Amino acid sequence: MTSATLLVELLTEELPPKALPRLGETFATRIAEGLKAKGLAPADAPFRTFASPRRLAVTVAQVAAEAAAKEVTEKLMPVSVALDAAGKPTPALLKKMEAKGIPVEAVSGFERRMDGKAEALFHTAMVPGAKLAEVLSAIVQDAIKALPIPKVMHWGDGDATFVRPVHKLTLLHGADVVPGRVLDLESGRTTRGHRFMSRGDIAIATADAYEPTLLAEGKVVPNFAERRANIEHQLLAEAAKQGALLNEYADLLDEVAALVEHPTVYVGEFEAEFLAVPQECLILTMRANQKYFPLFDGAGTLLNRFLIVSNMHVADPSNIIAGNARVVRPRLSDARFFFEQDKKQKLEARLPRLAPVVYHNKLGSQLERVERLEALAGAIAAQLHADVAAAKRAARLAKADLVTDMVGEFPELQGIMGRYYALADGEGAVVADAIQAHYQPRFAGDALPAGNVAAAVALADKLDALVGFFGIGMVPTGDKDPFALRRAALGVLRILMEAPLPLELPKLIEVAAAGFKPGVLGAEGFATQLQDFMFERLKNLLRGDDSGSGRDGAVIDAVLALKPARIDLVPAKLAAVEAFRALPEAAALAAANKRIVNILKKVEGTPGEPDIALLQEDAEKALFHQVVEVAPLVRSHVANEDYTDALCALAGLRAAVDQFFEDVMVMAEEPLTRANRIALLAQLAGLMNQVADLSRLSA
**Confidence band of 200 (pLDDT split at 50, 70, 90):** confident
Domain 349-550 part of CATH 1.10.3210: yes
- Is 455 a residue whose pLDDT tops 60? yes
Residue of 352, 346, 349, 454 whose CA lies nearest to 395: 454
248: left (phi over 0), alpha (psi -120 to 50) or beta: left
Pairwise CA distance, residues 199 & 310, whole Å: 19
- Is 549 a residue whose pLDDT tops 60? no
Break the chain into its structural domains and give their ranges.
3-67+131-218, 71-127, 224-342, 349-550, 577-697
Q: Are 91 and 82 in contact (CB under 8 A)?
A: no
Q: Where are the alpha helices (DSSP H) in 615-665?
A: 618-639, 643-650, 654-663
Phi, psi of 476 (to 5 degrees): -60, 140
Q: What's the DSSP call for residue 89?
A: B
Q: Where are the alpha helices (DSSP H) in 343-365?
A: 347-350
Pairwise CA distance, residues 274 & 21, whole Å: 35
Q: Are 451 and 377 in contact (CB under 8 A)?
A: no
Q: Are 265 and 231 in contact (CB under 8 A)?
A: yes
Q: Are 591 and 658 in contact (CB under 8 A)?
A: no
pLDDT, average across residues 225-251 = 96
What is the reported pTM?
A: 0.78
**Confidence band of 548 (pLDDT split at 50, 70, 90):** very low
pLDDT digits (tens, 9 = 90+) for 167-191: 999 999 999 999 999 999 999 999 9
- Residue 546 has a pLDDT of 47
Phi, psi of 45 (to 5 degrees): -65, 125
- Is 259 a residue whose pLDDT tops 90? yes
Residue of 341, 340, 337, 331 whose CA lies nearest to 282: 331
Task: Give kind and range of the element (H or E) at residue 63.
Answer: strand 55-64
473: left (phi over 0), alpha (psi -120 to 50) or beta: left
Higher per-residue confidence, 408 vs 552:
408
Q: Where are the alpha helices (DSSP H) in 131-275?
A: 132-145, 210-213, 224-241, 250-257
- Residue 564: asked if its preceding bond is cis (omega within 30°), the reply is no
Residue of 296, 300, 331, 356 whose CA lies nearest to 410: 331
Pairwise CA distance, residues 79 & 121, whole Å: 6
- Is 396 a residue whose pLDDT tops 50? yes
Give the 3-state secondary structure of residue 343.
coil
pLDDT, average across residues 228-239 = 97
Task: Give kind and range of the element (H or E) at residue 323.
Answer: helix 318-342
- Mean model confidence pLDDT for the chain: 92
Q: Are 36 and 43 in contact (CB under 8 A)?
A: yes
pLDDT, average across residues 308-316 = 92
- Residue 512 has a pLDDT of 97
Pairwise CA distance, residues 658 & 620, whole Å: 11
10 Å CB burial of residue 87 (0-12, 13-18, 19+) is: exposed
pLDDT digits (tens, 9 = 90+) for 98-127: 888 888 888 888 888 998 888 998 988 888
Pairwise CA distance, residues 623 & 653, whole Å: 8
Pairwise CA distance, residues 169 & 176, whole Å: 14
- Residue 699 has a pLDDT of 66
Q: What Cα–Cα distance (Å) separates residue 478 from each residue in 475, 483, 492, 543, 546?
A: 10, 13, 21, 20, 16
What CATH class does 577-697 carry?
mainly alpha
Pairwise CA distance, residues 156 & 269, whole Å: 43
Give the 3-state secondary structure of residue 297.
coil
Least confident residue range of 265-269, 334-338, 368-372, 610-614 = 610-614
pLDDT digits (tens, 9 = 90+) for 1-46: 579 999 999 999 999 999 999 999 999 999 999 999 999 999 999 9
Q: Percent of the chain beyond pLDDT 70?
A: 99
- Is 547 a residue whose pLDDT tops 80? no
pLDDT, average across residues 199-228 = 95
Contacts of 455 (CB under 8 A, 6+ apart): 380, 384, 448, 449, 495, 499, 501
**Confidence band of 690 (pLDDT split at 50, 70, 90):** confident
